[in-house]
Amino acid sequence: MYADRHARRVNPASLSIAVLINAAALAAVLLAPPEITHFVTHPDLKMFTPRPEHIPDPVPPPPQPRAKPLPRQPIDTTTPPIASPSSDFTVPDQPPLPPAPPTQSEGTGSDAGPVTGTTLTETPIPPPVITTPSVDSRYAGDLQPTYPAEERRAGRDGRVVVRVLVGVDGRVKQVERVSATSDAFYRATLERALARWRFKRATRDGIPIEAWRTMALRFVLEDE
């Protein structure tokens, strides 16, 4: 055992020499000057693509000759003469008109001779005959409306004016308010007119037509 331990012991002198050699090599590498590489460029070198031999160079078109401007034509500013009518032109004479045929009077058969100096006049159309609606006497007692209760209690008189549209059957079709003392008097008149009023219908040339008529009514309280 002791013999192997002495055999493995390292010599200090050899170790020092090895360290010095490594240090010298490292120093030589570190202290060596750097190597600079120079790249040389050629400015006259150009790249080109060879043109195929079978394609000819384009031929420029021949120059076109310029067109000469046309000479200007002079403008004629003179006014052409106007031909005047010939004085030898004459209107041929027209043949005379034949005489008018004789006319006969109606219903007599006698020859009345030609009509001279007479003028025809249109017969005026007579205006239409129009009759207005009138109160039917058979329903005269139904004209007065019922006196409104609130106006009777207040002791007020009233007056109502209305326009009514009378149909072809004599009944009232529409009522328009012209004036009224109060709404109560008008409502009473409206209800009575639509329900009970009857008129003789208006006519135009004997044909029944619708027509308007104005009616005025008074509401007066009587002393009891």
Domains by residue range for the chain, with CATH: 130-219 (3.30.2420.10)
Q: Is the pTM of this model over 0.75?
A: no
Q: What was the pLDDT predicted at 122?
A: 80
Q: What was the pLDDT predicted at 107?
A: 46
Residue 131 dihedral angles phi and psi, to the nearest 5°? -115, 140
> Which of 124, 134, 128, 125 minimizes the C-alpha distance to 206?
128
Q: What was the pLDDT predicted at 134?
A: 94
pLDDT digits (tens, 9 = 90+) for 95-147: 666 676 665 544 444 455 555 555 567 888 889 999 999 999 999 999 999 99
* Residue pair 135/172 in contact by the 8 Å Cβ criterion: no
Tell me which amino acid residue 44 is: D
Q: What was the pLDDT predicted at 15?
A: 76
Query: Which segments in the chain show pLDDT lower than 70?
Result: 1-10, 29, 32-57, 69, 71, 73-98, 100-120, 223-224
Q: What was the pLDDT predicted at 153?
A: 93
Q: What was the pLDDT predicted at 8?
A: 54
Q: What was the pLDDT predicted at 46?
A: 59
Strands 130-131 and 111-113: unpaired
Cα separation, 167 vs 212, whole angstroms: 9
Q: What was the pLDDT predicted at 62?
A: 77
| Burial 150-170, CB ≥16 within 10 A → b, else e | ebeeeeeebebebebebbeeb
Cα separation, 118 vs 100, whole angstroms: 14
Cα separation, 158 vs 175, whole angstroms: 18
